Amino acid sequence: MPSKKIHKILVANRGEIAVRIIGTLRKLSIASVAVYADNDADSLHCRIADEARPLGGGSLKDTYLNIQKIIDSALDAGADAIHPGYGFLSENAEFAEACRANNLIFIGPDAESMRLMGDKIRARQFAIDNDIPVVWGLVGSVEEIEAQAAALPYPVLIKASAGGGGKGMHIVEDAAQLHLSLEQASREAEKYFGNGQIFIEQYIRNPRHIEVQILADHHGNVIHLFERECSVQRRYQKVIEESPSPTLTEERRQTICETAVAICKSMNYKNAGTVEFILDENQNFYFLEMNTRIQVEHPVTEQRTGIDIVEEQIRIARGKVMGYTQDSITANGHAIECRIYAEDPENNFMPAPAELTLYHEPNMRGVRIDSSINGPTTISDSYDPMISKLICHGKTRESAIEITKNALKNYIVQTRKTNIPYLQSIIDNEDFLNNRIDTSYCEKHQKELVTSMHQMRDEVKKEDAAALFLFYDFNKLYLENKNIDNVWEEIGYWRFNMNIIVEVDGKPYTVNVEKIRRKSLNCIINGQDYEVLLSQNGGGINKVIINGTAESVFVSETSDNNYCVHLKGLDFICRRNDELNYTKDYSNIDVKNNDMTYFSPMPGKVIKVNVKEGDVVKEGDVLCVVEAMKMENNIKAMTSAQVAKVLVNEGDKVDVKTILIELVL
Ligand code: ADP
Ligand code: ADP
Ligand code: MG
């Protein structure tokens, strides 16, 4: 294959991966073209690209999944190639073909490899045909699988053949659950992946997820860049990934990496890809699937090997020989990636799209951040709620963990909810530290991790937060460098001897302000003296000394007029009670006397209503299903009750706080 020149690449993606790809294009002096949906016009990936092309509004089908629009944008911009990133069209064979038909290089494998591996059933069969171990499985129609109900080796896992992103999988513990789960799984498969075909696999208890990064060029060279272990998952989606796997023996590492290379050789695979395996307690591994694209967690490998995988992807797509041979690759130290999400770990990891009022990245040795943002913004509910990835690299697992711990503490993302405190709990957890992990780690440790999140909060003195908040609130104009010469602003400084009620995380503290100045506050809280001295001021970021101890604090005003105060690695919501704000209630049930009102927990669409007025329900019954961000949320009865009113119909769009159903006890 003759090598081709690439001058300009269209990046058919958004978010952190688009930003990351454009970064490499810059390095290579290749011009970049971003594409964006209407609601992404101000996004970082558009701002940093050499040019940005609009895709219009509407659903994903009209924008990031619209093959024609993307091809037209590339042609119109005079691009030579398209990089699809991950998700969206990255594993869409039709898209790869459309690129080729229009003389655009698709930076990825050929359509045939994508079709083979994109279909989990075919991929399984391919592995079996090539003597690669897979777990026991059964392929057939819903009826055919149901006919075998009594004979299945429970627990089993239902999977969508075209599935991905951890979506649409259901564990079935016994024959009694099979029918409902098959129904839901095939409905989800049809809706999310446009293909209702499902199959079942034996569910391996307590496995680990190990995957191997592959690079393959058009000249028959296939190499691996070692493995990543991604066993820390919630909802089958990776949360923390690391390399090397702290679990594999050297012999198993060698074998699993060679197996991955062998699979790619047998299918004549080209470009970057990842072969995923599960590993049982006896270090037996089984092929799971292959992702024929760049993966979310690829930076873990990049940090260890020093190889820019996107750069290699481009080199391979140009038809050149890879820049590395297997022998030339060395992996150094240990790297850990944490995925930073706007979500609520205490509420089933529910996405938490919201305003983001302050963003500040830690700047430390060994830390890399791949982010979709670089300042205040709005986290949209139209896309995946991942904000960024924090990748920490150290000499050993212990030092990588230490760096991660420090970085998480100094990573400021002020918005309604993030999983940062949750990640902090994991990184501090005995079982994580000792590598006692498997793919159900998050589920098994949920209680413990939430308790530790609460403990971390309890350890921070709320009085410090209250004093800091008041100092900031009084000095806001000065601290934000606004109107510092305005005389009216000075009026604040002679106020003293005031009693102010400050709420921190909803709990009131009476603060007796003795003296407030531009650079200091003296007050008494619960009979104790507090002194805040400002030592350095930089917008929302301030260095202060509280009662003699130096702290960095980060404060921003939220859209509902509260303040978010970052102190000792955590965010606290503070407000003055004398300007009483309404109390926000995120729980989705309201109980009054014998009536229980169920609200929608988030904006979305009602896709199923299971009850009608007068029905008697028992605890755990699914009343209705609200779909949001590619996820079905089952709204369950908290207790036995009778249905008093059903206020929504299937297909209705709902908002947070839309009343769905009323029950009466
Ligand atoms: P990775 O395998 O790269 O670690 P995931 O499997 O979590 O990451 O998927 C990466 C992204 O792509 C996620 O945002 C996920 O929602 C999305 N994704 C993966 N597969 C599909 C698919 N078949 N359809 C739609 N989105 C997908
Ligand atoms: P996706 O395409 O959604 O990434 P995978 O087949 O890669 O789907 O599976 C995602 C995760 O689900 C795995 O990392 C693993 O945690 C779990 N999983 C998949 N298959 C099995 C199985 N047979 N037994 C136990 N866990 C499994
Ligand atoms: Mg997978």
The CATH number given to whatever domain includes residue 258 is 3.30.470.20
600 lines ligand 1 (CB under 6 A): no
Query: Atom 11 (ligand 1): residue with closest C-alpha?
Result: 87
Question: How confident is residue 584, by pLDDT bands cut at 50, 70 and 90?
Answer: very low
Inform me whether the pLDDT recorded for 482 exceeds 70.
Answer: no
Query: Does 261 share its domain with 303?
Result: yes
Query: Does 319 share its domain with 452?
Result: yes
State residue 580's pLDDT score.
34
414-429: burial string, b at 16+ Cβ within 10 Å, e else: bbbbbbbbbbbbbbbb
Q: Three-state DSSP class for 347?
A: coil
Inform me whether the pLDDT recorded for 640 exceeds 90.
Answer: no
DSSP string, 372-421: S-SSSEE--TTS--EEEEEEEEESSHHHHHHHHHHHHHT-EEEES--SHH
DSSP type of residue 665: -
Q: What does pLDDT average to over the chain?
A: 92
State residue 474's pLDDT score.
79
Question: How confident is residue 655, by pLDDT bands cut at 50, 70 and 90?
Answer: confident
Query: Does 430 share its domain with 538?
Result: no
Position in ligand 1 atom list of the atom nearest CA 293: 3
Quote the strand ranges of 66-132, DSSP E: 81-83, 105-106
Q: Is the peptide bond before 153 cis (omega within 30 degrees of 0)?
A: no
- CA 546 – ligand 1 centroid, Å: 45
Site to probe by mutation for ligand 1, drawn from 296, 370, 631 as the one with most ligand atoms within 8 Å of Cβ, is 296
Query: Does 255 share its domain with 298?
Result: yes
- CA 288 – ligand 3 centroid, Å: 7
Structural contact between residues 427 and 404, judged by C-beta atoms closer than 8 angstroms? yes
DSSP type of residue 506: T
Inform me whether the pLDDT recorded for 520 exceeds 70.
Answer: yes
**pLDDT tens, position by position, 547-571:** 999 998 899 988 777 899 999 999 9
- What total number of domains does the chain contain? 5
Q: Tell me which residue has tokens 């955590």.
A: 570
Query: Atom 27 (ligand 1): residue with closest C-alpha?
Result: 87
Q: Is residue 305 part of a domain?
A: yes
Query: Does 330 share its domain with 362?
Result: yes
Question: How confident is residue 477, by pLDDT bands cut at 50, 70 and 90?
Answer: low
DSSP type of residue 290: E
Q: Is residue 249 part of a domain?
A: yes
Dihedral sign, CA of 46, 47, 49, 54?
positive
Position in ligand 2 atom list of the atom nearest CA 202: 23
Domain hosting residue 261, numbered range: 208-459
State residue 236's pLDDT score.
86
Q: Identify the weakest region by mean pLDDT among 385-389, 456-460, 503-507, 588-592.
A: 588-592
Structural contact between residues 638 and 596, judged by C-beta atoms closer than 8 angstroms? yes
Q: Tell me which residue has tokens 């501090």.
A: 428
Could you tell me the CATH number of the domain that includes residue 509? 3.30.700
Position in ligand 2 atom list of the atom nearest CA 291: 2
User: End of a domain among 107, 127, 154?
Assistant: 107
Could you tell me the CATH number of the domain that includes residue 185? 3.30.1490.20
Helices (H) and strands (E) in the chain, counts: 18, 39
Mean pLDDT of 39-68: 97
164 lines ligand 1 (CB under 6 A): yes
Query: Does 565 share its domain with 600?
Result: no
Query: Does 527 share its domain with 539?
Result: yes
Q: Identify the weakest region by mean pLDDT among 75-84, 179-188, 365-374.
A: 179-188
Query: Atom 26 (ligand 1): residue with closest C-alpha?
Result: 87
278 lines ligand 2 (CB under 6 A): yes
Q: Per residue, what are the HEC states of 426-450?
A: HHCCHHHHCCCCCCCHHHHHHHHHH
Q: Which pair of tokens denotes residue 609?
A: 């209503």
Q: Is residue 583 part of a domain?
A: no
State residue 585's pLDDT score.
35
CA 474 – CA 534 distance, rounded (Å): 13
Could you tell me the CATH number of the domain that includes residue 602? 2.40.50.100
State residue 637's pLDDT score.
86
Q: Is residue 518 part of a domain?
A: yes
Q: Is residue 257 part of a domain?
A: yes
In whole angstroms, how far apart are CA 63 and each of 34, 69, 181, 386? 13, 8, 32, 19
Query: Does 56 share its domain with 84?
Result: yes
- CA 566 – ligand 1 centroid, Å: 32
Q: Is residue 405 part of a domain?
A: yes
**pLDDT tens, position by position, 232-277:** 999 889 999 999 999 999 999 999 999 999 999 999 999 999 999 9
Q: Is residue 235 part of a domain?
A: yes
Query: Does 559 share its domain with 629?
Result: no
State residue 490's pLDDT score.
45
pTM of the model: 0.85
User: End of a domain among 442, 459, 476?
Assistant: 459
Q: Element (H or E) spanning 478, and its range?
A: helix 476-479
289 is annotated as an active-site residue: yes
Q: Is residue 25 part of a domain?
A: yes
Query: Does 279 share its domain with 417?
Result: yes
CA 116 – CA 111 distance, rounded (Å): 9
CA 200 – CA 138 distance, rounded (Å): 5
Inform me whether the pLDDT recorded for 505 exceeds 80.
Answer: yes
Query: Does 498 share its domain with 626?
Result: no
State residue 601's pLDDT score.
77
State residue 541's pLDDT score.
63
Question: How confident is residue 109, by pLDDT bands cut at 50, 70 and 90?
Answer: very high
CA 422 – CA 453 distance, rounded (Å): 6
- Active-site choice (188, 242, 276, 289): 289
Could you tell me the CATH number of the domain that includes residue 51? 3.40.50.20
Q: Where are the alpha helices (DSSP H) in 243-345?
A: 250-266, 298-305, 309-317
Q: Element (H or E) spanning 44, and its range?
A: helix 44-48
Decide: residue 407, CB within 10 A, 0-12 exposed, 13-18 middle, 19+ buried. Answer: buried
State residue 595's pLDDT score.
84
CA 94 – CA 115 distance, rounded (Å): 9
User: End of a domain among 185, 202, 219?
Assistant: 202
**What percentage of the chain exceeds 90 in pLDDT?**
78
Inform me whether the pLDDT recorded for 617 exceeds 80.
Answer: yes
Dihedral sign, CA of 394, 400, 405, 408?
positive
Query: Does 172 share its domain with 320?
Result: no
290-324: burial string, b at 16+ Cβ within 10 Å, e else: bbbbbbbbbbbbbbbbebbbbbbbbbbbbebebeb
